[in-house]
């Protein structure tokens, strides 16, 4: 064998490196503002949780043939799910005597009251900004058929809940009688 081996060094050219750096720079310039608006993600998580909880309360009322209520706290920090009797439809919410539903996500080793606190860190700065259900109520109740029911025992008239964080707001509309849920982003958050 002769010592005449030519070693070939393969590498990237300056043009290839510049193209890669340019593409990465453009990608980061486009994605950074989207990823920086964490408030929107926090509010979306809170909205998804509320929609899931409203649906759960409605389904639970239908499945167990009992009344269920979702109560929204006055200070906007969250909501809870409770079991009520027909005689309690017109009564105001009392946290000390409420018959809370057990949270199915709490695990089998512990049965915790179904209370959602938005300020626990999972939802950032999201808050329940306003609640307008069945006229002036802070509650929505579901009957044994899964429909909304007002404090007088008549079919509910629906309403809306607004969840907001700095710069973003969402309205959750609850249809009269059926409890159908529609979510919309509100401009000018």
For residues 132 and 153, what is the distance between their CA atoms, to the nearest angstrom? Answer: 18
**If you average pLDDT over every residue of the chain, what do you get?**
85
pLDDT tens for 12-54 read 788 888 888 888 888 777 776 555 555 578 888 899 999 999 9
pLDDT of residue 18: 84
pLDDT over 70, % of the chain: 86
pLDDT tens for 118-147 read 877 778 889 999 999 988 889 999 999 999
pLDDT of residue 151: 87
CATH fold of 38-186 reads minor pseudopilin epsh fold (3.55.40)
Domain extents in the chain:
38-186
Given a cut of 60, whether residue 109 has pLDDT beyond it is no
Considering the entire predicted model, what is its pTM? 0.77
């Amino acid at each position: 064998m002769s010592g005449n081996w030519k070693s070939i060094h393969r590498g990237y050219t300056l043009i290839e490196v510049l193209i890669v750096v340019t593409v990465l720079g453009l990608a980061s310039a486009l994605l950074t503002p989207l990823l920086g608006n964490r408030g929107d993600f926090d509010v979306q998580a809170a909205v998804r949780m509320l929609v899931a909880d409203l649906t759960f309360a409605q389904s639970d009322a239908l499945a167990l043939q009992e009344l269920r209520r979702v109560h929204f706290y006055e200070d906007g920090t969250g909501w809870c799910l409770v079991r009520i009797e027909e005689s309690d439809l017109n009564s105001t919410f009392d946290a000390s005597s409420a018959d809370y539903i057990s949270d199915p996500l709490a695990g089998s080793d512990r049965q915790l009251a179904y209370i959602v606190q938005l300020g626990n860190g999972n939802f950032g700065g999201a808050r329940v900004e306003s609640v307008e259900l069945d006229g002036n109520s802070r509650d929505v109740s579901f009957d044994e058929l899964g429909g909304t029911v007002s404090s007088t025992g008549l079919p509910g008239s629906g309403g809306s809940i607004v969840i907001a964080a700095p710069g973003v707001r969402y309205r959750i509309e609850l249809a009269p009688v059926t409890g159908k849920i529609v979510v919309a982003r509100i401009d000018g958050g």
